[in-house]
Amino acid sequence: MSWLKWTPTETHDVTILSSQPVESYIHWLPQGSQPCPGPNCPLCSSGLRPKHRWSVEIRKGEEDFTWEMSNQVYTNLAAISHKLKAFSGLQISVTRNGSGMQTTYTLIPTGTVDVESLPPATSTSDTPSHFGAEAEDERQRTAIAIAETIKILCTNTGLDSKAEFAAWIADKGKGHADSTVDIQLAHFCDYLEDCTAQPGQEPAPAPTAESLL
């Protein structure tokens, strides 16, 4: 099944077919995305933390697609689902606003429908990869978000972020010198969090589908 994609300012009117979302974690790499298998993941073991993603099957027009979204977009979708007390059959108008690091999505509910009453979908093309402009947009947004986290960590601890990054890349981060900016920042942020964490402090748990619905 094809992945649903948007161009800037484009709106899709979609109907959710899934009875519940599929939660996943992925790693962004220079060549694209890599699913995180969970325990014993070599990328996790190397210190690269995965990103939280959600996906649902949807109908757009006469075709079925897989809509993959960030945790923030899914939180908005879950809020709409909770308000309308429906998930499968939920109809939503989704608009992409902006591009690159300024990309956001606006979700407007338009109704609900019995998915069993929908006619069969027409055939769709083979599933494309996650590589390309959409992945690049996500990497840019990820880099900005991580940079903000680094800024807060350094401000709260009285560290000079530029000096700390230069020292890190010359020592512990030298193996990532040729990586993309988002990958470098992700590793550096993990390093800072480990250095500034209080003894016994545990990271906040990721939200579950049940807690959001």
Compare 49 and 84 and report the one with higher pLDDT.
Answer: 84
Q: Which two tokens stand for residue 64?
A: 């079925």
Compare 192 and 22 and report the one with higher pLDDT.
Answer: 22
- Under the banding of pLDDT at 50, 70 and 90, the label for residue 212 is very low
Compare 130 and 194 and report the one with higher pLDDT.
Answer: 194
Closest alpha carbon to 48 in 28, 30, 31, 33: 28
Closest alpha carbon to 44 in 171, 187, 152: 187
Amino acid at 48: L
Q: What is the mean pLDDT of residues 17-38?
A: 80
Model pTM score: 0.56
Reply yes or no on whether the pLDDT at 201 is more than 80.
Answer: no
The pLDDT, as a whole number, for residue 138 is: 60
pLDDT tens per residue, range 56-91? 999 998 889 998 888 888 999 999 999 999 999 999
3-state secondary structure of 180: coil
Residues shown for the chain: 213
Reply yes or no on whether the pLDDT at 17 is more than 90.
Answer: yes
Long-range CB contacts for residues 160-166, cutoff 8 Å, separation at least 24: 164/188, 164/192
Average pLDDT in the chain: 75
Is the Cβ–Cβ distance between 91 and 56 less than 8 Å?
no
Closest alpha carbon to 134 in 2, 23, 32, 14: 32
